[in-house]
Amino acid sequence: MLATQQKTQAVQAKSKSYHSGKLLVRLVLGCVTRVRILRRENTNRTGGFLLAANHISHFDPFIISSVIGRKIDWMTMAEFFRPPAVGLLLRAVDAFPVDRNRANRKTVRTAIERLKEGRIVGLFPEGGIRDGARSLLEGAALRPGASTLAHIAGVPILPCVIVGSDRLYSTKRWLPASGGRTPIWIAFGNPISHFPRLKKSEARARIEIELTAAFKNLYTELQQTFHLTSDDLPHPPQERVSKSARRSQPFDFPQDRLRRGNSLQQLKVSPRDSSTPFASAQNDRVQRMSAITVDSLLCASINFLHLRHRLNGHSRAEMERYVEECERITADQYYASPHDDHLAKALGNGHPTITWRSPIETKFPVNNIACADLFPSERGRSAPTVFILHALMSTSPIGYRRCAEHFNQLGWNACFIQLPYHYSRVPHGYWNGELAITCDLIRNAEGLRQGVMELRQLMSALRQHGSGEFGVLATSYGGWIGALLAMVERDLRFVALMAPIVNVDHAIWESSAGRSIRRELRRANIEPALVARHFHLSSPTYNMPLCDPARVLFVAGEFDSITPLKHIETIQQKWRGSELLRVRQGHFGYRMLGETVERLKERGDI
């Protein structure tokens, strides 16, 4: 009874999230688009069915959902679920991941269950954004997934063709002076049966034939009904962006200033960054727009989670006492960690995962157990060890573990650290990493301190077992902890900090990810001056590394709005001798890790 009630409440919450998001999309897109629809009434069906649409832009699912009254559970590429904030938002509206390169039993089972429950499942049978000869509209082959799902679930397929949404990649389409709203055309076809009386192979072949024909017919109907021109028809996103770039002045990006030769060229920059060709400028706009969208969704989800955290009437007094105590000590004293004999013994057991008692006690018992996954190389304990530190609210360690295996091939031992309030250390009732950064600045500081101290304990235990060299590969929140570690540890062969949080002042008082935190701090009368008294211990920008700065590699996303490029440039200049690598992505992306490892190889660090 209780489980049923909880399930009903969860469904209701997701339905509210979906319809709230749908209203927001309508408000935003309604200002810049004008949607014309053929046979909208075909969507007013009861029961479950599969909505299959062509795919010409990232805006398609939002636009299609906005014109259909019922809720759609979209099958979404698994890559979009990897950034924790985006994954959180997608799951909140009942989207679920699909691997476009192979069939996944869990995905198929989820889709069939929802269809049998009477829900609408949306998918793009082309497997990605397609135009021209690669598109179903121009006769490209249909992937078999839609026919398989419809036949197994016993539901019809409703074909849908959308045209015109790819023009939203053009910046000018979002501007008031664009000359009117962008027209978008959508046509819904007649439902295609799952042919229950035919044999399985015959039924699926029949579905594919009828669906392919439906896409072509709907496309032709839109062209004839609305007298579409060649410019109205689908174009590659890069082409839409390049047309906009030729008609408007470029924005003053940091990389543009570099090309014009300002003082930033004095920075120590990796060759692949400083020689960025002009030919990539067209792609920059698509990448920047995608990065801004992902970072904005991340910030929105973080602010949403922060809404349930509140400070009490004693918070300011507690903060004053805490910073007064901290002002009396140095970073080395603050992050000093006791040697742990139990940890050294656990390392000797050869287990792939080790746990030990954290040197800092919090009110959450599960967070007081430190945890690390070990990936030994064939060289044994004498090989150098790289510590892999994950991002805030990281949803999966799979990518980091693959990275660890790559380091093993290079002759390095690897160690994946589960940072405070993440993975196995998440208290019941909270999201992964939610408690690491909130308006409770004391808990934030103690979490950072906890992470650094546990790393130092692990280094001490590894030295005891014969490991003498260490490297750090860290991302975002992990990069913050990695930078703090560099302030107190001399024995580091390299410190690669990818999109690290280095300017705490900006992170709290200016970053869009900190809006809810700022609101709560001001309500508690905690002002910037009070917080700044702790920066000598917690903000890397206000400190210097104890290790050789030449061993530090800062990696910045050129389109990062959470850790802006200018802040990484500032600390790179201060940590004189360090290097800066720029990567074309936002705060979250998949290029940064690969390019960082390649740069470490070029430098001779690994």
**pLDDT (mean) for 28-47:** 92
pLDDT band at 514 (very low <50, low <70, confident <90, very high): very high
**pLDDT (mean) for 317-325:** 96
- Of the candidates 336, 373, 339, 341, the residue with the CA atom closest to the CA atom of residue 355: 373
* Residue the block writes with tokens 């004391």: 442
pLDDT value at residue 402: 87
pLDDT digits (tens, 9 = 90+) for 105-118: 899 999 999 999 99
Q: What percent of the chain has pLDDT over 70?
A: 90
Contact, 165 vs 224, CB < 8 A? Answer: no
pLDDT value at residue 275: 39
For 370, the 3-state DSSP assignment is strand
Euclidean distance between CA atoms 546 and 335, whole angstroms: 13
Task: With a cut of 70, say whether residue 251 has pLDDT above it.
Answer: no
pLDDT value at residue 292: 81
Burial-class residue 533 by CB neighbours within 10 Å (0-12, 13-18, 19+): middle
Task: With a cut of 90, say whether residue 39 has pLDDT above it.
Answer: yes
Which of 242-246, 433-437, 516-520 bottoms out in mean pLDDT, i.e. has the lowest? 242-246
Output phi, psi for 375, to 5 deg.
Answer: -130, 90
Euclidean distance between CA atoms 62 and 310, whole angstroms: 33
pLDDT digits (tens, 9 = 90+) for 343-361: 988 888 878 899 999 999 9
pLDDT digits (tens, 9 = 90+) for 150-177: 999 999 999 999 999 999 988 888 876 5
∠101-106-108 over CA atoms, to 5°? Answer: 70
Euclidean distance between CA atoms 237 and 284, whole angstroms: 12
Task: With a cut of 50, say whether residue 260 has pLDDT above it.
Answer: no
Contact, 179 vs 32, CB < 8 A? Answer: no
pLDDT digits (tens, 9 = 90+) for 522-560: 999 999 999 999 999 999 999 999 999 999 999 999 999
CA–CA distance from 181 to each of 32, 175, 251, 338, 467 (Å)?
A: 5, 10, 23, 64, 64
CA–CA distance from 602 to each of 269, 428, 591, 597 (Å)?
A: 13, 44, 17, 9
Task: With a cut of 70, say whether residue 385 has pLDDT above it.
Answer: yes
Q: Domains in the chain, start-ordered, CATH in brackets?
A: 16-239 (3.40.1130.10), 321-603 (3.40.50.1820)
pLDDT digits (tens, 9 = 90+) for 326-336: 999 999 999 99
pLDDT value at residue 549: 96
Rg of the chain over all Cα atoms, to the nearest angstrom: 27
Euclidean distance between CA atoms 306 and 311, whole angstroms: 11
Task: With a cut of 70, say whether residue 242 has pLDDT above it.
Answer: no
Which of 170-174, 176-180, 457-461 bottoms out in mean pLDDT, i.e. has the lowest? 176-180
